[in-house]
Amino acid sequence: MTVPLFVLALAAALAAPAATPAPTPEPVLAHDTFTIESKVLGETRRINVYTPPASHPTGGRGLPVLYMPDGGVEEDFPHVTSDVDAAIRSFEMRPMLVVGIENTERRRDMTPPTQVESDRKIAPHVGGAAQFRAFLRDELIPQIERRYPVSGQRAVVGESLAGLFILDTVLAEPKLFDTAIVLSPSLWWNDQALVKGAAARLRAAPDLEATLLVAPAGDDGTEPEVKLLTEALRTAAPKGLTWTVEPQAELKHATIYRGASPRLFRRLFPPIDRSAGL
């Protein structure tokens, strides 16, 4: 007896393992998007900007700005802005802008130069942190401050190599940001050069006034580097630098951004005191 072809096809389909469903895209809040033709970097950079609900008070002042590398809509921008928006709407955090910078060559932009051969092999180009910092200082920040009603207060957040970049920025250009949130930083880069030289660079910035929070993850394996950094901050941090090193032993490198940032944002950017207008 000849079995009909549709019966064979149906049997084969039933016997085949079920396909794994595609992951559901993370929802992205309404936001502005524009591009910058960067002369510093020689390329087009896409910028995403979250603006807070207009109904929430700003105390009569402009808005602080939270800058974030890894800020593309397929990177960390969706979960950071969703959390910030929820915190603002529940009056757990002050209204602020979030500026997400979409990556092109992440490992180029986030790394200082290195003398270690294995570091150089992680990407076709590395060591471009100074150029990326110039892009922020000379091109992106001025454009944000022209486009939006800002207060002049600037914060920055990032993890892994972006955390390394932010810590390097605090030491290289201490007046660029008022608050720096450094999650699970890659302190091993260039044979620990950043932490080994941190004390000297801190002493070279006696008028630094900022807030620095460093939060290593439990599986980073950077305990020696964290110890060196903590000692440098303890012995050489200028009086105007409010600093904290808070290891997150319960969080992993892959989960620290989502696990720690909601709590840290609420602590570092507390809500405006509406009764006092502050």
* Structural domains of the chain sorted by starting position, each given as residue range(s) with its CATH number in brackets: 26-268 (3.40.50.1820)
Query: How many angstroms separate the CA atoms of 107 and 160, rounded?
Result: 11
Per-residue confidence at 8, pLDDT binned at 50, 70, 90? very low
pLDDT of 276 > 90? The answer is: no
Mean residue pLDDT of the chain comes to 89
CA dist list (Å): 221 to 208, 214, 225, 252: 30, 15, 9, 11
Helix axes 223-236, 189-196, angle to 10 degrees: 20
Question: Mean pLDDT lowest for which of 45-59, 142-156, 196-210?
Answer: 45-59
Q: What percent of the chain has pLDDT over 70?
A: 87
Determine the pLDDT at residue 142. Answer: 97
Are the beta carbons of 40 and 139 closer than 8 angstroms?
yes
Listed in sequence order, the residues at least 6 apart from 52 whose beta carbon sits closer than 8 Å to its beta carbon are 63, 84, 85, 88, 95, 96, 97
pTM: 0.88
pLDDT, tens digit, 9 for 90 and up, residues 86-138: 999 999 999 999 999 999 999 999 999 999 999 898 899 999 999 999 999 99
Determine the pLDDT at residue 252. Answer: 93
Q: Tokens 């800058």 sit at which residue?
A: 67
pLDDT, tens digit, 9 for 90 and up, residues 167-194: 999 999 999 999 999 999 999 999 999 9
pLDDT, tens digit, 9 for 90 and up, residues 105-118: 999 999 999 999 99
Spatial CA neighbour of 55 closest among 85, 81, 100: 85
pLDDT of 196 > 80? The answer is: yes
